[in-house]
């Protein structure tokens, strides 16, 4: 298998040496590794650093292609100390990276980039409307709609290599954080986005019912509930991390852990782990931490 190659659509950037700010609630001494996040692709891995992103995929010819770039700034640093708002801006910045990845690395296949998944999205939307039309908007009914809305994501994970590359994401980042080997790391990770699912679904169900009782309807009300639910979910996520090891933290993370264990991840092959190593090497290079 050939070595990783930089995709020519994305020119190399000179290595930067940013100062990584401490996480909320942590001291400078507690930060001795870059804060990395990521997203599994259908054929590779996207990794987020403090100021840059890097992605590696295996193209149709079996070659590993690598690209990287600077993350767009949508106010994430300015809102780091503002509960609620900081979560929304960080999520927005993460989403803004996706079109940059596709432009720089055309071979990358996004998680929902599949006709079958598109069909599942349409089916879930119709089923959700059917559930809502059967009676009054209650928290239980809205929670059921939220569970149905998860179906396309779960369907996407079970198709192809996406679940394996989700495992690559977790194992690669865990190995970096522990100075270990990716092959030996767990495929479940405490900072997985699956930990956002339960609090987001609960907040959306309660928020939707509350908005309707207050006479608020329409796209703007729905958007407000969605943003508020995402903000709350991120704060729950951050609380669990700040209280790592506590019983409350374990309970908050349990639903996300089970999603990862049962359906969200699977053990990757050595070839897939090699793609993860290429993405990790690139993010450390552009962040000046190699």
- Return the pLDDT at 30: 39
- At 5, the pLDDT band (50, 70, 90 cuts) reads low
Q: Phi and psi at residue 26, in whole multiples of 5°?
A: -115, 155
Asked whether residue 108 carries a pLDDT value surpassing 80, the answer given is yes
217-245 pLDDT, tens digit each:
888 998 999 999 999 999 999 999 999 99
Across the chain, mean pLDDT equals 84
114-131 pLDDT, tens digit each:
767 677 677 877 877 788
**216 Cβ neighbours under 8 A, 6+ residues apart:** 224
- Return the pLDDT at 88: 86
Asked whether residue 102 carries a pLDDT value surpassing 90, the answer given is yes
Q: In what helix (H) or strand (E) does residue 247 lie, and over which residues does it extend?
A: helix 247-259
Contact between residue 284 and residue 52 where contact means Cβ atoms under 8 Å apart:
no
- Return the pLDDT at 29: 37
Q: What angle do CA 267, 245, 201 make, to 5 degrees?
A: 70
- At 246, the pLDDT band (50, 70, 90 cuts) reads very high
- At 159, the pLDDT band (50, 70, 90 cuts) reads low
As a whole number of angstroms, the distance between CA 63 and CA 178 comes to 28
Furthest C-alpha separation in the chain = 61
Asked whether residue 258 carries a pLDDT value surpassing 60, the answer given is yes
């Amino acid at each position: 298998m050939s070595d990783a190659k930089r995709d020519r659509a994305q020119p190399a950037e000179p290595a930067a040496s940013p100062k990584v700010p401490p996480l909320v609630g942590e001291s400078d001494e507690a930060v001795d590794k870059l804060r990395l996040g990521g997203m599994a692709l259908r054929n590779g891995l996207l990794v987020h650093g403090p100021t840059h992103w890097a992605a590696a995929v295996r193209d149709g010819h079996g070659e590993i292609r690598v690209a990287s770039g600077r993350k767009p700034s949508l106010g994430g640093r300015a809102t780091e100390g503002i509960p609620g708002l900081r979560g929304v801006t960080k999520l927005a910045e993460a989403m803004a990276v996706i079109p940059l990845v596709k432009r720089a690395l055309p071979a990358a296949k996004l998680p929902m980039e599949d006709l079958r998944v598109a069909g599942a999205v349409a089916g879930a939307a119709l089923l959700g409307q059917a559930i809502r039309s059967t009676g009054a908007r209650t928290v239980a009914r809205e929670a059921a709609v939220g569970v149905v809305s998860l179906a396309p994501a779960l369907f996407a994970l079970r198709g192809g290599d996406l679940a394996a590359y989700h495992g690559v994401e977790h194992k690669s980042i865990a190995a970096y954080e522990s100075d270990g080997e990716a092959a030996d790391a767990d495929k479940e990770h405490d900072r997985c986005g699956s930990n956002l699912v339960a609090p987001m679904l609960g907040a959306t169900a309660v928020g939707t019912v509350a908005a309707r009782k207050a006479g608020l309807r329409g796209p703007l009300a729905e958007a407000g509930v969605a943003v508020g639910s995402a903000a709350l979910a991120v704060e729950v996520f951050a609380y669990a991390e700040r209280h790592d090891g506590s019983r409350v933290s374990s309970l908050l993370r349990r639903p996300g852990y089970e999603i990862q264990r049962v359906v969200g991840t699977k053990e990757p092959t050595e070839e897939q782990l090699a793609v993860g190593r290429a993405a990790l090497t690139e993010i450390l290079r552009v962040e000046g931490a190699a």
